[in-house]
Amino acid sequence: MMLFGLEWAFPLVFLLLPMVLLPWFNNNLDKTVAWTALVPHDPLSRTISLTLKVLSSVVIAALLLAVASPAIPERTVERFGEGAEIVLLLDRSRSMDDAFAVTTQAANYSVAGDNSKRRVARTYLTEFVKKRPDDRFGFVFFSTNSINLLPLTYSKEAILNTIEANSLGKGLSDTNLADALMNSALMFEDQPYRGSRIVLLVSDGGQLMTDEAMELITKRYKEMNLSIYWIYLKARQGMTLEPSENDNILYTDLPERKVHEFFKSIGIPYRAFEAGSLEEFAAAMDEIDEQQYQTLIVEELVPHEPKADWFLWLALLAMLPLASSHLYSYWGVRKAHE
Amino acid sequence: MRLSYPKRIFLTALVMLISLLMIMAALWLPPVDREIEVMDSLFVIDITDSMNVEDVSFGSETITRLDWAKEYTRQSILSMPCGSHAGLAIFSEARSLILMTPVEVCANYHDLMQMLSQFHPTMAWARSSEVSKALYTAIRQAKEITPQPTVVFLTDGHEAPPVHETLFPKFTDTPGEVPGVIVGIGGSDLVPIPKTNEFGEIEGYWEINEVMHKDVYASSRGDAAELNNNRPRTEHLSSQKKSHMETVSRRVGFEFISSPTSPQKLIKEMQKISDTRQQPVKYDLFVWLASIALILLLLVFLPYSLFTKQHE
């Protein structure tokens, strides 16, 4: 329950608060005197007796409030950090189950285990995420209909476990790149601009997109100030995204080249990394890591802080004179009865 | 009985001193370690078409089976002690797809809920619903996760295409190696199933002639085919398939609970079968110490005179 800006774990304890009046309504400590008129009039004693009652009430109240366990509730604070907001777009198609950077013909046709492209991507992305303390990550589920599975979050555990889950099981038969790109942009919709916004695509191929889709993506990405990084996991060593002079004629019409052309034409910051080996993949991740340290507004979650100590201190401060005075009375009474 | 004045003064002084020490202890005694039992879980949610049927009651409302599954998952995660881990997965076609491996439930509650809220029939990558096979893949994948989670499989048990009683897909793993619970969802009456199109939008209902009513493999086997022919043609309708889920859960060594009313039922079942881990948590004793100080103080000030006979 919230009260006075604090969160109270046991608010029912408040019902006991009338107990603070007890010291004012009892005479347990009164000495029976035969005739009260015999007691000398002593203003100092009156003041002391009043003070002790007040102190007793304060101690009881403070202890009650401490037992109710107040705490400052969990809250977010904004601070400036360095980094970026990154949406991960990991290809989940069947081809990502194939081995990455194969050198022998035989390996090309075997079912890949730990060296499948999806697992390799998992390894490097995990390392990348761990290196970037301030970044906010989001994750798009890349299937027939893509879904913004994990909206931008600061939780490293959540994003790492989503990346981990992505490496399990088999790939999906059907993926839709245009839809996934659109959804990635939607992650930033209605979000204040905090800093560099990146869509990081990791895939081993491209897909042809309709003109409408391309137009829409261009518009969205420009409006929302996004950058695209594409880590292209090469299947064929000789193939490059940029056309070259001694090109194989088969490469010219490949969908990945079309996608590359399209990304370049959007007019937003775009970098493609062609990774043909583990080293190249690692280098690409390092380069993105180095480039993306711009000022970023970071929202930090401050966990709830117990504040019972305030009241315990108050109780202690009131208790010290109270206890000493009672010890003193005990000493005095013992002396008198000796 | 009435205590003598010196005795009262002595007791009061003693109580005050103890209270003072208790308050000091409450302030400065370091938190003690306490062990709590935590577990790892993986919630697999059926997102196939039959889950869009509105036949489960939630409070006074009737909601879809999928919404119920999501709400039940939320409540269950909320009921787990901090330090427990929960992961999320969906099932469609003939396989389970893990979307987040288990994360700590308290620190990541918000993200778990964000992801859970995205679970939608649109995520389905095919329009069939092979419960048993999906369950097997969930078990196989749970084995790849360390520490191995307890699988919670939320489904109505509707197999589409249907499976013949004697021709179940083979479960090749050891039953019970991965512990788990199947949570059965749905009413007991046969009701029409909303049909989703390729975008996952609901468009009418599955018609009697649009679904398979027989196990295709059984049709080619003489004895089974005979039995098959006598089956009623009701596969376009759906209800909670309790007996089927019981059979399946026995085969894989899972527990089966049907339409549980509280998350505690699932948590208790899971605690029984899971390998729980002991996790030390810091526990501050201040509440107890401050309470002792408080009770002692109140003892001094209670109006005893009301209960004892007054001396003249």
pLDDT per residue as tens digits for the range B226-275: 655 666 777 788 888 888 889 889 988 999 999 888 889 999 988 888 88
Q: What pLDDT is recorded for position B312?
A: 42
Distance CA B160, CA B128 (A): 6
Distance CA A8, CA A69 (A): 6
Are the CB atoms for A178 and A209 separated by under 8 Å?
yes
- Residues A163-172, mean pLDDT to the nearest whole number: 85
- Asked whether the beta carbons of residue A22 and residue B286 sit closer than 8 angstroms, the reply is no
B7 pLDDT higher than 60: yes
Helix or strand run (H / E) with residue B153 = strand B150-155
Helix or strand run (H / E) with residue B91 = strand B85-92
Q: Is the peptide bond before B147 cis (omega within 30 degrees of 0)?
A: yes
Residues of A in contact with B302 (CB under 8 A): 22, 26, 28
Together in a domain, A224 and A92: yes
Structure tokens at B47: 């997102």
Together in a domain, A235 and A120: yes
Together in a domain, A175 and A81: yes
How many Cα atoms within 13 Å fall on the side-chain side of residue A191? 24
* Range in A178-182, A234-238, B58-62, B158-162 with the lowest mean pLDDT: A234-238
Map residue A241 onto helix, strand or coil. Answer: coil
A-to-B residue pairs, Cβ atoms closer than 8 angstroms? 176
Structure tokens at A299: 């929202």
Each residue's pLDDT tens digit, A235-258: 666 677 887 777 777 777 788 888
Question: What CATH number has the domain bearing residue A201?
Answer: 3.40.50.410
Q: What pLDDT is recorded for position B222?
A: 61
Q: What pLDDT is recorded for position B90?
A: 92
Q: Give CA torsion, residues B141, B144, B148, B152, to 10 deg.
A: -10
Contacts of B190 (CB under 8 A, 6+ apart): B234, B237, B238, B239
Confidence band, pLDDT 50/70/90 cuts, at residue B217: low
Tell me the sheet residues that pair with A227: A198
**In A, residues 109-148, which contact B (CB 8 Å cutoff)?**
141, 143-145, 147-148
Q: What pLDDT is recorded for position A21?
A: 86
Together in a domain, A170 and A182: yes
Together in a domain, A124 and A167: yes
Measured CA to CA in angstroms, residue A318 lies from A24, A248, B44, B247 at distances of: 16, 88, 57, 68
- Asked whether the beta carbons of residue B27 and residue A143 sit closer than 8 angstroms, the reply is no
Confidence band, pLDDT 50/70/90 cuts, at residue A5: confident
Together in a domain, A206 and A292: yes
B11 pLDDT higher than 80: yes
More confident residue, B190 or A158: A158
Together in a domain, A46 and A139: no
Residues of A in contact with B125 (CB under 8 A): 143-144, 172-174
Helix or strand run (H / E) with residue A271 = strand A270-275
Together in a domain, A117 and A213: yes
Identity of the residue numbered A146: S
Q: What pLDDT is recorded for position A103?
A: 59
Together in a domain, A159 and A253: yes
Number of domains in chain A: 2
Q: Crossing angle of helices A117-131/A278-291, nearest 10°?
A: 30
Q: Is A168 on the interface with B (CB under 8 A)?
A: yes
- Residues B79-87, mean pLDDT to the nearest whole number: 88
**Mean pLDDT of all residues belonging to chain B:** 84
Which residues in A92-186 belong to E strands, given as ranges?
136-141, 147-153
Q: What pLDDT is recorded for position B66?
A: 93
Together in a domain, A207 and A291: yes
Which DSSP symbol is given to B169?
P
Q: Is B102 on the interface with A (CB under 8 A)?
A: yes
Each residue's pLDDT tens digit, A65-82: 999 888 888 787 888 888
Q: Give CA torsion, residues B225, B230, B232, B238, to 10 deg.
A: -40
Q: What pLDDT is recorded for position B153?
A: 94
Q: Other C-beta atoms within 10 Å of B215: how many?
A: 23
- Residues B209-228, mean pLDDT to the nearest whole number: 66
Contacts of A72 (CB under 8 A, 6+ apart): A5, A6, A7, A304, A305, A307
- Residues A188-210, mean pLDDT to the nearest whole number: 86
ipTM score assigned to the predicted complex: 0.78
Each residue's pLDDT tens digit, B21-55: 999 998 888 888 888 888 899 999 999 888 888 88
| Nearest alpha carbon to residue A138 among A127, A125, A123 | A125
- Asked whether the beta carbons of residue B95 and residue A162 sit closer than 8 angstroms, the reply is no
Map residue A305 onto helix, strand or coil. Answer: strand
Tell me the sheet residues that pair with B54: B64
- Choose the mutation target among A56, A148, A330, A334 for the interface with B, i.e. most B CBs under 10 Å: A330
Range of the domain at A322: 2-73+304-337
Which residue of B6, B95, B305 is in closest CB contact with A26? Answer: B305
A182 burial level (CB within 10 Å; 0-12, 13-18, 19+): middle
- Asked whether the beta carbons of residue A157 and residue B107 sit closer than 8 angstroms, the reply is yes
Distance CA A46, CA B207 (A): 92
Together in a domain, A111 and A148: yes
Are the CB atoms for B45 and B89 separated by under 8 Å?
yes
Together in a domain, A88 and A178: yes
B306 pLDDT higher than 60: yes
Positive or negative: CA dihedral A258, A259, A260, A262: positive
Q: Number of H helices and number of E strands within chain B?
A: 9, 14
Q: Is B282 on the interface with A (CB under 8 A)?
A: no
Q: What pLDDT is recorded for position A219?
A: 92
